[in-house]
């Protein structure tokens, strides 16, 4: 198995695989301070819900180190201010806010310690978030593998792999696990317009791992589903509402609707940190709209005429009734989601 480490905190700096440059170039992007981290999240140097959570946490560590010499009050207030900026760098993936809140709780609980002690405690917490995400992914992969039939053809969308997490991946983690446990699977990967996370990143990970796979334009997926070529669809999530409605990369809703029409099982694979117990339904999820140039240009080359208006939502919401199950680190959650997710929230599971 190839070890892809996309996030590394070393000598007081954060290094990220620059996902904008893949697959042409494998290079690291250096973050010296929290402003670099904010840029990296916004510009999608790093992307994927769990990965931006981990990186947001390290961003707070860099902010704390930056303000170390200020008075205690100024230090706390500047770290909080930076945390708020980092938490809002992208609005849809709840993992970012989740990680920021977790870091702020640690700050609050230790605010009487010295600035440098707080820095160390924050660094430890960021490391915990990173380590836990990797462990979580492996558990998701094991549970998910249970529902992958031998010889299955799996369809996936966007990139949910090692690049999108602290390592291993969610939906792509299930695919890795199925491959390495000898299930003899094959994969169809959607290219995922407009940012091409499937073509550039998922395809790169699949090639590294030598998992039998074919890259397809997004519009090929419905044809394959209709023709009985797909046994199971597994995708990731950016935010799961309490009723099971799930925001994920634009194009996911369309897949889920067609899967429902043709009775193909449609699974979400995501850590519990992606479940937003405070959001009642998909209607309340903020969908990020990104720059028009993501649609009008490919690799900096204009493909649409000057003057055309663009609508570019980065995510859509799949209604809970289209979802066969949600694969988490604690097992697979099935409908009725409102009931079962509420039980999970209340710790009864």
Choose one: 46-54, 113-121, 139-147, 219-227; the region binding ligand MRU (CB under 6 A).
46-54
Q: Pull the structure tokens for residue 158.
A: 């966007």
49 is in an annotated binding site: yes
The active-site residue out of 190, 238, 276, 316 is: 238
Which of these, 189, 211, 188, lies nearest to 200 by C-alpha position? 189
Query: Least distance from C-beta 258 to ligand MRU, angstroms?
Result: 18
161 is in an annotated binding site: no
Counting contacts by CB under 6 A, is residue 136 touching ligand MRU?
A: no
48 is in an annotated binding site: yes
- Distance in angstroms (rounded) separating the CA atoms of residues 169 and 173: 4
Dihedrals φ, ψ of 107, to 5°? Answer: -60, -45
Contact 235, 248 (CB under 8 A): yes
What is the three-class DSSP state of 172? helix
Contact 39, 55 (CB under 8 A): no
Residue 169 gets which letter from DSSP?
-
95 is in an annotated binding site: no
Q: Site residues for ligand MRU, window 72-111 (CB under 6 A)?
A: 93
Closer to ligand MRU by Cβ: residue 20 or 113:
20
47 is in an annotated binding site: yes
Counting contacts by CB under 6 A, is residue 6 touching ligand MRU?
A: no
Closer to ligand MRU by Cβ: residue 249 or 320:
249
Residue given tokens 């990143």 in the structure block: 201
Query: Least distance from C-beta 183 to ligand MRU, angstroms?
Result: 21
Q: Site residues for ligand MRU, window 237-266 (CB under 6 A)?
A: 237-238, 248-249
Choose one: 5-13, 42-50, 103-111, 212-220; the region binding ligand MRU (CB under 6 A).
42-50
Q: How many residues bind ligand MRU (CB under 6 A)?
A: 17
197 is in an annotated binding site: yes
Closer to ligand MRU by Cβ: residue 130 or 238:
238
Question: What Cα–Cα distance (Å) separates residue 64 from each residue in 83, 102, 128, 131, 214?
Answer: 10, 15, 17, 21, 45
Catalytic residue status for 238: yes
Q: Pull the structure tokens for residue 179.
A: 């491959």
Map 102-165 to HEC letters.
HHHHHHHHCCCCCHHHHHHHHHHHHHHHHHHHHHHHHHHHHHHHCCCCCCCEEEECCCCCHHHC
Residue 219 gets which letter from DSSP?
G
Residue 228 gets which letter from DSSP?
T
Closer to ligand MRU by Cβ: residue 90 or 102:
90
Which of these, 3, 345, 331, 338, lies nearest to 162 by C-alpha position? 3
Instruction: Out of 115, 145, 197, 256, point to the residue binding ligand MRU (CB under 6 A).
Output: 197
169 is in an annotated binding site: no
Closer to ligand MRU by Cβ: residue 167 or 236:
236
User: Which run of H or of E encompasses 207?
Assistant: helix 203-209
Counting contacts by CB under 6 A, is residue 314 touching ligand MRU?
A: yes
Give me the active site residues, please: 238
Which residues fall in the annotated binding site?
Answer: 47-49, 90, 197, 248-249
Which residues fall in the annotated binding site for substrate?
Answer: 47-49, 90, 197, 248-249
> Which parts of this chain interact with ligand MRU (CB under 6 A)?
47-50, 93, 158, 160, 164-165, 170, 197, 236-238, 248-249, 314
């Amino acid at each position: 198995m190839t070890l892809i480490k996309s996030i590394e905190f070393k000598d007081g700096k954060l290094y990220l695989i620059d996902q904008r440059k893949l697959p042409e170039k494998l290079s690291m992007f250096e973050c010296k301070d929290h402003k670099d981290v904010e840029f990296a999240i916004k510009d999608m140097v790093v992307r994927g819900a769990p990965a931006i959570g981990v990186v947001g946490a390290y961003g707070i560590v860099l902010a704390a180190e930056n303000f170390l010499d200020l008075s205690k009050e100024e230090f706390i207030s500047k770290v909080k201010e930076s945390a708020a900026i980092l938490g809002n760098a992208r609005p849809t993936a709840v993992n970012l806010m989740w990680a920021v809140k977790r870091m702020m709780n640690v700050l609050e609980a230790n605010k009487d310690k010295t600035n440098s002690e707080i820095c160390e405690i924050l660094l430890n917490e960021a490391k915990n978030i990173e380590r836990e995400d990797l462990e979580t992914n492996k558990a998701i992969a094991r549970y998910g593998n249970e529902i992958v039939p031998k010889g299955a053809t799996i369809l996936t969308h966007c990139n949910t792999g090692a690049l999108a997490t602290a390592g291993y991946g969610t939906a792509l983690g299930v695919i890795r696990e199925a491959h390495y446990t000898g299930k003899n699977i094959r994969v169809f990967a959607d290219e995922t317009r407009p940012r091409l996370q499937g073509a550039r990143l998922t395809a790169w990970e699949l090639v590294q791992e030598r998992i039998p796979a074919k890259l397809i334009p997004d519009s090929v997926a419905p044809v394959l589903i209709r023709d009985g070529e797909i046994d199971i669809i597994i995708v990731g999530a950016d935010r799961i509402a309490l009723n099971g409605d799930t925001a994920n990369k634009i194009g996911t809703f369309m897949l889920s609707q067609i899967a429902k029409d043709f009775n193909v099982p449609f699974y979400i694979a995501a850590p519990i940190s992606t479940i937003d117990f405070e959001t009642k339904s998909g209607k309340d999820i903020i969908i990020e709209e990104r720059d028009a140039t993501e649609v009008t240009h490919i690799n900096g080359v204009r493909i649409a005429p000057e003057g055309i208006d663009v609508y570019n939502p980065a995510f859509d919401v799949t209604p809970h009734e289209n979802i066969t199950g949600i694969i988490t680190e604690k097992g697979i959650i099935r409908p009725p989601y409102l009931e079962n997710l509420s039980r999970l929230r209340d710790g009864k599971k």
